[in-house]
Amino acid sequence: MEGESLRPTSQIKEMLGAMKDQWQSMLGMAVMFVITILIGILIQPFYDKPEFRAFGEAGASQARNVLMEFAFILIFTAAIIYLAKKKKEWIIKYGILGILFIALCYATIPLTNLVISETPEPLEFDSTSTIYEMIHQHNDGFYASQKLVNKTTGDIAGYAFYSFSNAYSDSGIAPINMLHQGIVFESNKESLNFSKFSDGIIVCDGQQFMKIDNDFDVSTKLNKNIDCIFGFNSNNSDWYINTNNELRGIGSNESYSIPNFIINESTISVWSTNNNQLIWVTENRFALLNLPNENSNFTIEFEKSYDSKITAVTFGSSLWQDFDFEQKLLVLGDENGNLTAWNINTEINSIPEIETRMKLDTGFFNGSIKSVLLANFNNFAQDELFVVDESNFRMFRSSSLVEQINMSINFEENVNLALSNTSINSVDSVVILQTNNEWKHVNISESQFQLVNEWAFLIGFCLSILLMIMLYIRPEWYVVNLVGILVGAGVVAMLGISFVPWLIIIFMIMAAIYDAWAVYKSKHMLDLADTMVNLKLPILLVAPQEKNYSFLDEQDTMRDREKLEVSREVPESVIIRSGEEKGVRTDKPRKKKEKGTDAMFMGLGDVIFPGILVISAITWLPEGTIILGADATLWVGILTMIGGLCGYFILMGYVALGKPQAGLPLLNSGAILGYLISTILLLGISALEFNISF
């Protein structure tokens, strides 16, 4: 059409006439476009977990990761073209078949799992009023206290202490069971001080020292008339700090001065270890202290000051067990929503080391950390990490910090956190959050975190193998389409959950610019399209115009078609660059053809890019606005897809006129406009805000 001029009205009429002549292929391609994205939406919940995001939860908003993905696309394209020029098509074919098999499993396994597996019950908190206050997690349960009040005078008469565990084994409290009858600690103090040691806790009120452990025998563990503010136990020796700010040993007249920070700073938690050391955490620092012995005084082994106020702390087994002995981990949360961790060897005296693999210190959480807990929910392997921030309760497990629970909460006050193992098969543990006089508890079990049913994995894997065998033996158009749709859906879901919408839009704009350059300037997409069609690889979709079309007989090349004079008649085909990249479209003038040779091609990239914006919108936009029975995020996704379809039909009009076209500029533009308009209308302009960083 170059060099010719048509009146706009005449051109539109010709465009509509040409589209009418090819409506079957165009409609078929549009249907495959929609089906691919809808399958992606269907399997999105399966992948909407932090461990599946390509660069983790934090990486979803980092622009450098999108640039890296785009660089990989360029490298992949260059490698394919280079190998094709070197006549190494076999490397291309088997390499891409391997990649396609993996991508195919991304769709077949979750789809099979959706069919044959039962959806686990959603996690929900139950609430129970309580008179007990949680103190300290210990093994598979925890210690708690009850304030005893004189009903006549209203004065505090003392405290009763209990050990709780074995959730659901018998009748219990919310639903935890007392393992022992409460032991009474007579005191009129409004608050008590606690420290923890390997076997239990030590309670002091300024006049008494009581040790509570597995024996739970108050007759042998209570020491009265001791000026005790904080008490400790290490190597079967009992120590305490008195009101004169001196450290003393019970049964000894020796006294030792204490560090000034203990006097001047608010203490959050104290642990004593078996190797004569104290782990002391205040709002401003973490310190490791050496208890006195015959050769030394009370000294500071190590201390680390914090600029941000420390708000929560836990001490337990490390998530990273690298040695034969059990490693211990101290996890600190601060007011800015950061978690840091220290490795502490409780077997020998050594300097604590920062745990660099705890990458949760860059604003990962919402607001201040209210509570943290290291505890083992299923009595298997190492502890799990439980975190409560301003708006969520979350659980991380294993050395990869896989986030397996993320529940919304609404607690304005401080939160205590504890866990109790159970003795019934359907529930592994009960996690309890305490706020004021209420326990909120939720049942958790391993079955709730099972990503895929074993049979679903096996069947989905075998289906992928079967489809790949069919593709290898007879790559007819319907086999290519089936594999292409499933591969496209899997890639759409995986990429869509990995990036927030603005990064996807940046990705789409870069891809569209590159697509236009590759089609109109360098034209290397023609070579790539020839290679993909000749190898009969399903990184494109095929829409036959006639019933007896055979993809196996497709022999025309893009370079040959480009050399032919463009006809005003309806073009035979549309070729869009295959792979997870963008599209090239060229056309061939209609000569006298043998019946059954007409078809339209679309590269998977032209489906994938609009599709990942659809999935990203559903994944990352704020939920909760219900419109016509469905969340507004789903409607935004659907309207984004419709925007991409509008771009597709405009594109088809230009192609029908015999004009070679790059696909992504129109397809991506339509999807982006659909996303922006629908988000603003349904959720408001504030929903477009994401904290993007480089």
Quick: pLDDT tens for 400-449. Answer: 787 888 888 877 677 899 998 887 777 888 999 998 888 889 988 877 77
Indicate if the pLDDT at residue 263 is higher than 70.
yes
Closest by CA to 30, choosing from 662, 641, 509, 525, is 641
Architecture of domain 126-193+247-449: 7 Propeller (2.130)
Cα 5 to Cα 11, 18, 464: the distances in Å are 9, 17, 51
Confidence band (pLDDT; 50, 70, 90) for 681? Answer: very high
Confidence band (pLDDT; 50, 70, 90) for 176? Answer: confident
Backbone angles phi, psi at 537, to 5 degrees: -95, 140
Q: How many CA atoms lie within 13 A of 410 on its CB side?
A: 0
Q: Which DSSP letter does residue 687 get?
A: G
Backbone angles phi, psi at 497, to 5 degrees: -80, -10
Mean predicted confidence (pLDDT) in 52-80: 83
Confidence band (pLDDT; 50, 70, 90) for 693? Answer: confident
Confidence band (pLDDT; 50, 70, 90) for 342? Answer: very high
Check: CB of residue 574 under 8 Å from CB of residue 604: no
75-123 pLDDT, tens digit each: 888 888 788 778 887 888 888 888 889 999 999 999 998 888 776 677 8
- Angle value at C-alpha 351, between 347 and 352, nearest 5 degrees: 85
Q: Which range among 139-148, 325-334, 465-474, 653-662 shows the weakest confidence by mean pLDDT? A: 653-662
Higher pLDDT: 231 or 515? It is 231
Closest by CA to 139, choosing from 184, 199, 91, 96, is 199
DSSP codes joined into one string, 175-199: TBEESS--EEEE---S--EEEEETT
- pTM score, whole prediction: 0.65
Higher pLDDT: 514 or 362? It is 514
Distance from chain centroid for Cα 669: 29
pLDDT of residue 3: 40
490-502 pLDDT, tens digit each: 999 999 999 999 9
316: tokens are 């337990």
pLDDT of residue 509: 94
Higher pLDDT: 378 or 566? It is 378
pLDDT of residue 21: 67
Pairing outcome for strands 384-388 and 208-212: unpaired
Indicate if the pLDDT at residue 262 is higher than 80.
yes
Higher pLDDT: 26 or 340? It is 340
Check: CB of residue 211 under 8 Å from CB of residue 221: yes
Q: Which DSSP letter does residue 378 get?
A: S
Q: Which residue has tokens 């480009």? A: 562
pLDDT of residue 9: 64
Cα 582 to Cα 398, 511, 529, 602: the distances in Å are 38, 7, 11, 10
Q: List beta partners, residue 407.
A: 393
Give the Cβ contact number of residue 685 at 10 Å: 10
pLDDT of residue 218: 65
292-317 pLDDT, tens digit each: 987 788 999 999 999 999 999 999 98
Indicate if the pLDDT at residue 660 is higher than 80.
no
Q: List beta partners, residue 240.
A: 231, 248
Closest by CA to 239, choosing from 315, 308, 292, 303, is 292
Domain extent listing, the chain: 10-120+452-688, 126-193+247-449
pLDDT of residue 172: 66
Q: Which residue has tokens 């994401």? A: 690
Share of the chain above pLDDT 90, in %: 38
Radius of gyration of the chain (CA): 33
Q: List beta partners, residue 300.
A: 289
Mean predicted confidence (pLDDT) in 223-247: 91
Q: Which range among 111-120, 200-209, 680-689 shows the weakest confidence by mean pLDDT? A: 111-120
Distance from chain centroid for Cα 30: 32
Indicate if the pLDDT at residue 560 is higher than 60.
no
- Angle value at C-alpha 34, between 502 and 610, nearest 5 degrees: 20
User: Position 547: which residue type?
Assistant: K
Alpha helix segments (H runs only) across 316-429: none
pLDDT of residue 369: 93
574-632 pLDDT, tens digit each: 333 333 333 434 344 444 444 444 777 777 888 999 999 999 999 988 877 788 888 88
Determine the Cα–Cα distance for residues 479 and 477; give it in Å rounded to an integer: 5
157-166 pLDDT, tens digit each: 999 998 888 8
pLDDT of residue 275: 84
pLDDT of residue 583: 40
